[in-house]
Amino acid sequence: MDSGFGKYDVYAVAGSIYCYRDTNVLKNRFGLRDGAELKAVEADISLIRQNDLMERPILGRFTATHLCNIHRCLLGDVYPFAGHFRREDIMKGTTRFLHYRDIPGKLTALLGQLREEHRLSGLSFERFVERSAHYFAELNYIHPFREGNGRAIREFMRLLFLKNGYEVDWAAVPAEELLAAMEESVYNTARLQEVLRVCLSK
């Protein structure tokens, strides 16, 4: 189920308010202080929740609230911050994601644009791939949550695909290719579009 899309680590630009003091371990509902143990527990629980969502998806209007509800479902058993926008800046490698104070406005504007585009209904396959890659990439750059962005965004997009008559199989491409496409999409969506052409089917 988990393609590896959400598995790369992000780091707080300056000491994280979400971590236990003097550690890089996120505060969690189990009080776990070992990073590897927490990652294992998180992976197990989120996989169960992903399976639940395949059977009982969280329906919504593709708004910021809809995305937050998906995130809360996936990680709410592990992290108290699940379903809430992050309150610190984070980065991966040389990619610094959107400044946290800009998240609400940017996300609302982006999903407002999606609404104005009628949630991509009635597009040719090529145009659908192009616009889907745009929204996918923008959501990834916004990175609204402190942890679990990949899983939440992927589920959000899966529901958008389904609404337009497409199923997605992330396993159709190697996990490394999907991850590389997402990292590159912050600057250029061409590679992500290629991935979507392979993974999407009617």
pLDDT tens across the length of the chain (202 residues): 444 444 556 777 778 999 999 999 999 999 999 999 999 999 999 999 999 999 999 999 999 999 999 999 999 999 999 999 999 999 988 889 999 999 999 999 999 999 999 999 999 999 999 999 999 999 999 999 999 999 999 999 999 999 999 999 999 999 999 999 999 999 999 999 999 999 999 9
Give the pLDDT score at 8. 53
Superfamily of domain 11-201: Fido-like domain (1.10.3290.10)
Distance CA 74, CA 33 (A): 21
Give the pLDDT score at 4. 45
- H/E stretch holding 178 reads helix 175-185
Cβ(20)–Cβ(165) under 8 Å? no
What is the residue type of 80? P
Cβ(189)–Cβ(137) under 8 Å? yes
Distance CA 119, CA 98 (A): 23
Cβ(27)–Cβ(195) under 8 Å? no
Give the pLDDT score at 93. 81
Sorted by where each begins, the domain ranges of the chain are: 11-201
Distance CA 190, CA 196 (A): 10
Distance CA 202, CA 125 (A): 10
Q: In what order do the strands lie in the sheet with 11-12?
A: 11-12, 90-92, 95-96
Give the pLDDT score at 188. 97
